[in-house]
Amino acid sequence: MKGYLRYFLNKLGWFAITFVFAFLLNFILPRLMPGDPVAAIVARFAQGMSNSTGVQAIYEQYVELFGTNKPMWEQFVIYLQNVAKGDFGFSFSQYPRTVADVLKASLWWTIALQFPAIIVGWLIGNTLGALAAYLKGGFDKVLMPLSIFVSNFPPFGMAVIFMVVFGVNLKWFPTSGGYGFDLIPSFSWQFIQSVIIHYQMPFWSIVIIAIGGQAIGMRSMAIYELNADYVKYSRFMGIKDSKIVGYVFRNAMLPQITGLALSIGTMVGGALVAEIVFSYPGLGTTLLRAVLGQDYPLISASTLIITVMVLFANFIIEILYGFIDPRIKAVQAD
């Protein structure tokens, strides 16, 4: 167990360092932006106000509220304290809602949409890829070009096509939102049904993209493994084919798990844009609104949350990987 503990601590250390670094980037980058966001928001609030001292008072009040008049390091300290309390300040574009409030409303939609979709896509993709490598012939010939095409299709493009085909033309599913616009979120049967119906299109458009990429990766991994010496040796020994396939699948799977950890960031990025197409009430749509409203506290908090989500998913996968990979188990036995 000592070996595993070392592995775990090593990963945890990396997780912490990356987090600090991401946090710094997140704080600094949006604040380098030219222009004064407070001036922009005040200009909108003060439209039609002819009293210039009034505008000035509003401006100062906002500067005070958001703390943009203090030096950068002081802002950082304040930011750090507030984030630790879960307080991301006020949203510029949706004032007087707080950023935490806006994010709380959208975060769960994104988590509930993306993680199941990525996992389902990964499972189906790997199975198909392994089958293609094992069966070869017609199945491979059809699946591979299709996978290459699908995995190169931009995620938002898949979303648009799904929407046009199944939403606008066939009218099987609603075209936008996370639930019916006439409903209020509650635990009623009607609401849950509406959520499930609205869930289908964003879900499957993400799944299909994931399937393509994973199938290609798994296929080449499995082909490498099928040509490996241990497979030939096992065949000479007369071990049953199904058992060999089991070994091959397992060995080919390991790099695919690391692959998932490394590509989860890209996948989430693509899925966020797909959310926008469906106006799904998740982080992607929130981010779009924040960008349009020049709302830097909201942008900075959303990107921070997305980074933390991705980092965390990564961490979990690495920890699980430690359990599955025999090489790490071998270290544990020492």
Partner 1 sequence: MKHIIQQVFHSGKFVFGFSIFATILLIVIFYPLFVPDPPLTILGQGTFFPPGIYVSVYDSLSATSYTLNLDEAAAKRIASKLSQEDRQAVKEWLIAAGIPEAEIDPANTEQLLDQWFANYDSKKNVPGMTNAKRNYYIRLNNALKGLLSPDAATVSQTNPQTGEMEQIDTINQTDYVNVSEVANLRLLPLGTDNFGRDILTELIAATRVSLQIGFVAGIIATLIGLTLGLLAGYVGGVVDDAIMFVTNLFTVIPTFVLLILISFSIGQEQRGAFTIAVVIGLTSWVWTARAVRSQVISLRNRDHVNLSKLSGHSIVHIILSDILPYIASYVIMALILQISSGILAEAGLSILGLGPRTTEVPTLGLMINWAMIYQAHILGNWWAYMPVLVTIALITFSMNLMNTGMDQVFNPALRD
Complex with partner 1: residue 18 or 75, whichever CB lies closer:
18
Cβ partners under 8 Å of residue 107, min gap 6: 282, 283, 305
Residue 264 CB, shortest distance to partner 1, in Å, is 8
Amino acid at 82: N
Residue 55 or 144 having the CB closest to partner 1 = 144
Q: 125-164 mask for partner 1 (x: CB under 8 A)? A: -----------------------xx-xxxxxxx--xx-xx
CB of 93 to partner 1, least distance (A): 13
Return d(Cα 133, Cα 225) in angstroms, integer: 10
For the record, the structure tokens of 252 come out as 């080919």
Of 86 and 269, nearer to partner 1 (C-beta) is: 269
Does position 175 interact with partner 1 (CB under 8 A)? The reply is yes
Which of 4, 25, 78, 173 contacts partner 1 by CB under 8 A?
25
DSSP for 183-246 reads ----S-HHHHHHHHHHHHHHHHHHHHHHHHHHHHHHHHHHHHHHTSHHHHHHHHHT--HHHHHH
Residue closer to partner 1 (CB basis): 58 or 178 = 178
User: What residues contact residue 138 under an 8 Å CB cut-off, 6+ apart?
Assistant: none
Residue type, 261: A
Q: Is 26 in the site for partner 1 (CB under 8 A)?
A: yes
Among 3, 4, 8, 14, binds partner 1 (CB under 8 A): 14
| Centroid of chain to Cα 106 | 13
User: Which residues are CB-contacts of 122 (< 8 A; sequence separation ≥ 6)?
Assistant: 210, 214, 256, 260
Query: Binding residue for partner 1 (CB under 8 A) from 1, 2, 35, 181?
Result: 35
Which residue in the set 262, 316, 320, 324 belongs to the binding site for partner 1 (CB under 8 A)? 262
> How does DSSP assign 56-75, residue by residue?
HHHHHHHHHHHTTTS-HHHH
* Residue 217 Cβ vs partner 1, minimum distance, rounded to whole Å: 12
- The Cα 145–Cα 215 span in angstroms is 11
Round to whole Å and give the CA distance between 295 and 288. Answer: 10
Q: Choose, by CB under 8 A, the member of 9, 12, 16, 29 that binds partner 1.
A: 29
User: Considering only residues 201-240, where is the footprint of partner 1 by CB under 8 A?
Assistant: 220, 223-224, 227
Least Å distance, CB 322 to partner 1, is 16
Q: x/- string (CB under 8 A) for partner 1, residues 267-306? A: -xxx-xx--xx---------xx--xx---x--xx--x--x
Q: How many residues bind partner 1 (CB under 8 A)?
A: 56
Could you tell me which of 48, 54, 177 has the C-alpha nearest to residue 109? 177
Q: How far apart are CA 258 and CA 317, in angstroms?
A: 8
Among 8, 22, 68, 173, binds partner 1 (CB under 8 A): 22
Question: Which amino acid does the sequence have at 316?
Answer: I
Q: At what angle do helices 99-135 and 189-226 cross, to 10 degrees?
A: 40
Q: Applying CB under 8 A, which residues contact partner 1?
A: 14, 17-18, 21-22, 25-26, 29-35, 148-149, 151-157, 160-161, 163-164, 168, 175, 220, 223-224, 227, 262, 265-266, 268-270, 272-273, 276-277, 287-288, 291-292, 296, 299-300, 303, 306-307, 310-311, 314
